[in-house]
Amino acid sequence: MARASQDNQQIINSDSSDTDLSSSNLRYRRIVIKAGTGALTNEAGLDSETMSDLVRQLCQIRDVDGEVLLVTSGAIAAGRSALGVGIGEAGTDISSRQVFAAVGQTRLMHTYQEIFATHDAQTAQILLTISDLSNRQSYLNVGNTLQRLLELRVVPVVNENDVVAVDEIGEVFGDNDRLSALVANLVDADLLLILTDTEGLYSADPRTNSDATLITEVEKVDAGIESLAGGDMHPWARGGMSTKLEAAKLVTASGIPMVMCHGREKNVVLRVVRGESVGTLFKPASGKMEARKRWMLSGISQRGRIIVDQGAAGALVKDHRSLLPAGIRDVEGDFNRGESIYVVDSNGVKIACGIANYDAKDIGRIQGMNSELIEATLGYHYGQEVVHRNNLVLL
């Protein structure tokens, strides 16, 4: 559970006002920073003062040979403001949000360009959709572009392409939370830093529970941690604590740490990259994941899930086995052979993702069966495994 700021327009004071940063005290060198709607906007729209302070910190990292990629929200809020549509007014449907994004995206990027220019820094706009990262070739192309921009010391400013995003079938990044995790995986970042309007993850809702405490470190995003997710707290944001925990699960599975903290704390970015304890640190799995498996995480279809029984879940997690049809209890959604999908246990907890050897309809026909019956049932055979262990990533 997270706690919202009492005043989103005011930068929170900090005991540390030290802005000193050098190459020697830069703990993380390649950093993906995600700035959420709540951390960038106020009731009037974009908060230029907060954006200026954020850019100043990013440029300080860049000036000591750090590499920064900014994943930013705020386009829809900027568009609403430009068109005079206030909080609580009409315009929450998909087409309206796409219109707001079309209007607001240019304003958002123009604001960033002007602020970065005061620090002699060049920016590049990168608009992405799920399909850009789920297709292997376009995934590699995006990665090559981002890598080249960093080599040229250009700051990539990344956002979901809300104008063409197909929200009605669920193919969204969730206020850029999941997108930031996928970008961190794509560029093999040293850290994902999520800036929001909360201090971090709490043990309970501090608005109703005076005993709630900030959780400073999370070893693993399991069912217990996921149960702490609360509702959205910003009226223009589409993300919430649940999407931030989803991002943490994706990025830490790849061996990349994530920090979530309040974006308006004084010099918060500088303090985090120096290794100070700020907000909530989600610890990474031991060892970096190979590039191909990081791509598999990027290609997960939100439309498909395979539900497995307790025995199959144990075989996947503890024994690192392949997923066989015998252990499958149900299939949800519609996906094709070769797509990445989630594997969840009987409690609905996501335990892995993997590339399906069969499409959803066929898996539904062979679920619970012995593998020897696949060909007799379907009339063809792509292997005994529904998901082979070489194409499986544990979460």
Architecture per CATH, domain 23-292, reads as: 3-Layer(aba) Sandwich (3.40)
Which pLDDT band holds residue 12 (cuts at 50, 70, 90)? Answer: very low
Our CA angle for 323, 326, 328, nearest 5°, is: 65
Measured CA to CA, the distance from residue 257 to residue 104 in angstroms comes to 31
pLDDT in tens, 248-301: 988 998 899 999 999 999 999 999 999 999 999 999 987 777 777 787 776 665
Separation in Å, CA 380 to CA 133, 276, 278, 364, 368: 30, 57, 55, 15, 18
300-394 has which CATH code? Answer: 2.30.130.10
Instruction: Give CA torsion, residues 163, 169, 170, 173, to 10 deg.
Output: -30
Q: What percent of the chain has pLDDT over 70?
A: 86
Is the pLDDT at 238 greater than 60? The verdict is no
pLDDT at 303: 66
Better pLDDT: 91 or 247: 247
C-alpha to C-alpha distances, 178 to 31, 50, 152, 163, 283, nearest whole angstrom: 16, 23, 26, 18, 17
* pLDDT of res. 237: 45
Report how far apart, in Å, the C-alpha atoms of 26 and of each of 35, 61, 104 are.
20, 8, 34
Q: What integer is the mean pLDDT of 53-79?
A: 93
**Least confident residue range of 8-17, 289-298, 324-333, 385-394:** 8-17
State the pairing for strand pair 201-202/123-128: unpaired
Extents of the domains making up the chain: 23-292, 300-394
Read off the pLDDT band of 175 (50, 70, 90): low
Note the pLDDT tens digit of each residue in 307-361. 999 999 999 999 989 999 999 999 999 888 988 889 999 988 888 888 899 999 9
pLDDT at 122 over 90: yes
Mean per-residue pLDDT for 16-33? 82
Handedness of CA 221, 223, 226, 228 (dihedral sign): negative
- Model confidence, pTM: 0.79
> Would you state the pLDDT for residue 148?
96
What's the confidence (pLDDT) of residue 25? 87
Residue 232 has pLDDT above 80, yes or no: no
What is the pLDDT of the chain when averaged over all its residues?
85
